[in-house]
Amino acid sequence: MERRDFLKISAIAGATAALEGCGNPDHQLIRFVPEEDLLPGIATWKPSICTQCPAGCGMMVRVMQGEAEVIRKGQLGLLKMGLAKKLEGNPAHPISQGKLCPRGQAGLQVTYHPDRIKNPLVREGARGSGQFKEIGWDDAIKQLASQLSTLHTSNPPGGLAFVTGPLRGQRKTILDAFTTSFQGSYAVGAAFLDDSVARAANGASFGHAAPGTVDLANSNYVLSFGADFLGTWNSPVAQNVGFGHMRKGRPGMRGKFVQFEPRISQTGASADEFVAVQPGAEGVLALAIAHVVIAEKRKPLASAGHAGSLIDGWAQGLPDYAPEKVAAQTGVKAETIARIAREAASHDPAVAIIGDSATAQTNGYFNALAVNALNALLGSVGKPGGILFGAGLNAQASKSGPASLELFASQVSSGAAPVKVLLVYNANPIFSAPTAWGVRAALDKIPFIASFASFMDETALLADLILPDSSPLESWLDDVPPSGSAKFVMSVAPPAMAPLHDTRSAPDVLLDVAQRIGGDLAKALPWKTYDEAIQAAFAALYKEKGSKTAKDADEFWSRAKDQGGWWTDEPSATANGASGGRPIKASAAQFDGEASQYPFHFLPFASQLFYDGSLANLPWMQEAPDPLSTVMWGTWLEINPRTAQKLNIQRGDLVEVSSPHGKLQAPALIAPGVAPDVVAMPIGQGHESYTRYASGRGANPISILAPATVEGTGALAWAATRVKLSAVGRSAMILFGGSLTEASPELKHR
């Protein structure tokens, strides 16, 4: 042979022999033929959609060639494949506008998580024991299909339930098709944070049961009642972009921002003025501001239209809401209320936002109606700088919301709802429901639970069959974000990379099952794979809206896939002067627990890093310091400095927090921003099971919440619980920056 070949072969043989000697495992793995054609070292950018929170930001994914250990056809081997390396906002996407929040950036860790469920599992031991056996997909889908087929043809019909997170786009279509086809079935929403109260209020006030989009970029005066709109509320990235522009994007103009809440949130930190308000009194405060605006004739009270008429006393100019009358109830000085009212009314456009704890009180619906009325009064509805409702977005709002998890759990437990098969998708109801709802007991009654979970969380542990969903970056994605842009937006993204593990996209599985079940369900979902479903949606969109650039549906679809979706300017809908609805009297917020026994308002808040707890499994999120507390890898209870002093609690003291419905322990953090009679705790930790990074870490504030509801809706009033505290010992928190709120001896002399 040629000398060159001889040397080459000897070199390879020698190297292999040497490597064998080194114990290099790589050479023992076979190499699969690459499935895609990528140049090493050259990056390609693919559009995608962030799914870390419901905002639906459009992303770009940087994909580069790398080598991964994957399983193909049941065999482990090495594959040169495109790997997602970095996520950025899609500059063209109207929601993200090229930006991402920290949660979005961390999306990569979902795909590459070491504790992902890598193949279908079937339960082996007792339910909840965590003992599972790996099975193949054929087997798994057969099992699921057979369970559902039985139900489909059972007489009397019924017995199917879905518990999901917020679903939109064709995923919602698939869900709806199932619930329509399976009579008597349930579609239950299990997201802890949702906008149902806002939708209900907006529907009543403006005729648009949708969250609306706040046009911060063009606003001059922002009144936020409890909404953490720069952190976790609604569409944070879009709101951050708008906020930056409001501040310094318009030469010579700088909008003012006032935050009303009982605890200065991350958003409140950026406010020009933080006004501490009594929990539950946000609606009254909004009406007091409206009172001043009306009384001083800065805006005619009729401009509030239907929204105003929903408030009892509006026509008379809200006499009960004079600032002096409500100062005690709201905790805000009369002159402050009056001054802010004057400022807001004289700096158009002014807009009011309400969210988070303000709508999570028993009177949250009233609070939202009050703020809506104020908005209408200030003339901000449907105008730049105010709240915009896109006409097309109503399509998403028209269908009724998901059933309440609380109601579902109680009906299942009582036997009123004989659920036989439960499908859990994008939800962790055991974690995100108060213990008082008895979700665990309800699940125990359901004979068959199938989950599409990617991680072994508390709910997945109870499943009988797990069909692990591929990660978002490995899946076809589509979305119709309900908020964040005045434009109509429909996003689509092909998978940015091939699946690392033996997982399948949940919609694909459901479509497969639908075909096997046949009948009307198969007809309603005539697609083999999910991308066909999305394409159908785009075809329908093309038909409805047309396009300036695409000449036919195929080109429309192709362009949409390339750029991450399709968007168009849309005239914003005006407030509909819908008829009906009696004026609502102010209701004071009710709190569960006697004030004498439970002296503190318990305020859970969405964590900037863990959101509602679903991101606690990501190490970047555990290690990023919480913006206000700087805590890493931990949980904490925020206590006002004077309160702590009175109770003789120091930073790090382990405190037992008891509500009438449960107790938990958390280390105390002295927080200057929290009211003296409020204690606050981030949501997100306290997972019993949620991968190595989150399991057994911290405490879950949701667990001890009272089963209070927001009147007028079925939503959980998660800010309506009262608690008592007792110190139980010492604990150590990890603070990246240290809390400077206690004057260390070194600081005392500065």
Partner 1 sequence: MAHQWGMVIDLDRCTGCEACVVACHAENNISTVGEDQARRSRAKHWIRVERYYEGEFPDVQVKFMPVLCQQCDAAPCEPVCPTFASYHTSEGLNGQIYNRCIGTRYCANACPYVVRYFNFFNPVWDKPLNLQLNPDVSVREVGVMEKCTFCVQRIKAGEIKAEAEKRELKDGEIQPACVQSCAPRAMVFGDLNDPESEVSRLANSGRATKLLAELGTRPKVTYLQRDAWHGHENA
Partner 2 sequence: MATKTPEQITEDLMRPMWGLSGRYVLAVAFLAGVVVAALCAFMWQVYAGLGVSGLRTPVFWGFYITDFVFWIGLSHAGTLISAILRLANATWRRPVTRCAEVITVFALSIGATFPIIHLGRPWLAFWLFPYPSERGLWPNIRSPLLWDFFAINTYLISSVTFLLLPMIPDFALIRDRANGWKQKVYGALSLGWTGTPRQWHRLETAMHIMAIAVIPVAVSVHSIVSWDFAMAPVPMWHSTIFAPYFVAGAIFSGIAALILAMALLRKFLHLEDYLLPIHFENLGKLLLVMSLLWFYFVFAERLTAWYGNETGEMPVFWTTQHGTYAGLFWLMVFCNFLIPVPILAIKKFRTILGTALASFTVVIGMWLERFLIIVPSLSHKYLTYSWGTYRPTWVEITITAGTFCAMALLYMIFSKVVPLISIWELKAGLHAAPHTPRVVVEPSEAGAD
**In the range 182-241, which residues lie near partner 1 by CB under 8 A?**
220-221, 230-231, 236-237, 240-241
The H or E element containing residue 442 is helix 439-444
User: 587 vs 640, which CB is nearer to partner 1?
Assistant: 640
| Nearer Cβ to partner 2 (130/627) | 627
Query: Which one of 29-37, 101-109, 384-392, 430-438 is the stretch in contact with partner 1 (CB under 8 A)?
Result: 101-109
Partners of 89 in beta bridges: 59
Q: Tell whether residue 744 is a contact of partner 2 (CB under 8 A).
A: yes
Bridge partners, 61 (sequence order): 46, 87
Total interface residues for partner 1 by CB under 8 A: 89
Give the one entry of partner 1, partner 2, none that residue 361 binds, where binding means its C-beta sits below a cut-off of 5 to 8 angstroms depending on kind.
none
Residue from 676, 714, 727, 731 in contact with partner 1 (CB under 8 A): 676
Question: Using CB under 8 A, which of the segments 292-300, 393-401, 546-554, 737-745 binds partner 2?
Answer: 737-745
Residue 623 CB, shortest distance to partner 2, in Å, is 14
- Contact by Cβ (8 Å): 120, 137: yes
Q: Where are the alpha helices (DSSP H) in 87-188?
A: 102-105, 108-111, 137-152, 169-181
- Nearest to partner 2 of 428, 739 (CB atom): 739
- Residue number, 577 or 672, with CB nearest to partner 2: 672
Which residues, listed in sequence order, are joined to residue 70 by a DSSP beta bridge? 77
Nearer to partner 2, 155 or 744 (CB): 744
Residues between 120 and 149 with contacts to partner 1, criterion CB under 8 A: none
Residue 185 backbone class (left: φ over 0; alpha: ψ -120 to 50; beta: rest): beta
Examine residue 672 and tell whether it contacts partner 2 (CB under 8 A): no
Which is it for the CA torsion 292, 296, 300, 301, positive or negative? positive
- Nearest distance, CB of residue 259 and partner 1, angstroms: 11
Q: What is the DSSP string of 10-35?
A: HHHHHHHHHHHHHT-GGGGSEEPPPS
Here's the x/- map for partner 1, 326-345, by CB under 8 A: it reads as -------------x--xx-x
Does 740 engage in binding with partner 1 (CB under 8 A)? yes
User: For residues 69 and 388, what is the distance between their CA atoms, to the nearest angstrom?
Assistant: 48
Closer residue to partner 2 (CB): 130 or 619: 619
- Kindly identify the residues of this chain, within the stretch 638-667, that bind partner 1 according to CB under 8 A: 640-642
Q: Which of 31, 250, 585, 692 binds partner 1 (CB under 8 A)?
A: 692
Q: Is 347 exposed, middle or buried (0-12, 13-18, 19+ CB in 10 A)?
A: middle
For partner 2, the binding residue among 76, 728, 740, 743 (CB under 8 A) is 740
Q: What is the x/- site pattern for partner 1, positions 271-310, by CB under 8 A?
A: -x-xxx----------------------------------
Sequence-ordered alpha helix ranges (H) in 153-235: 169-181, 196-206
**Is residue 609 within 8 Å of 231, Cβ to Cβ?**
no
Q: Which tokens go with 378?
A: 């200030």
Question: How many chain residues bind partner 2 (CB under 8 A)?
Answer: 10
Out of 17, 543, 738, 743, the only residue in the binding site for partner 2 (CB under 8 A) is: 738
Which segments within 226-279 are labelled E, that is strand? 256-261, 273-276
Supply the minimum distance, in Å, between the C-beta of residue 568 and partner 1: 23
CA 570 to chain CA centroid, Å, is 26
Half-sphere exposure of 624 (CA within 13 A, CB side): 19
**Residue 745, binding choice from partner 2, partner 1, none, Cβ under 5 to 8 Å by partner class:** partner 2
- For 510-561, the three-class secondary structure string (H helix, E strand, C coil) is HHHHHHHHCHHHHHHCCCCCHHHHHHHHHHHHHHHHCCCCCCCHHHHHHHHH
Give the C-alpha distances (Å, rounded to integers) separating 356 from 167, 183, 226, 237, 707.
20, 35, 6, 17, 17
The contact pattern for partner 2, residues 678-717, with x = CB under 8 A and - = no contact, is ----------------------------------------
Binding site for partner 2 (CB under 8 A): 737-738, 740, 744-750
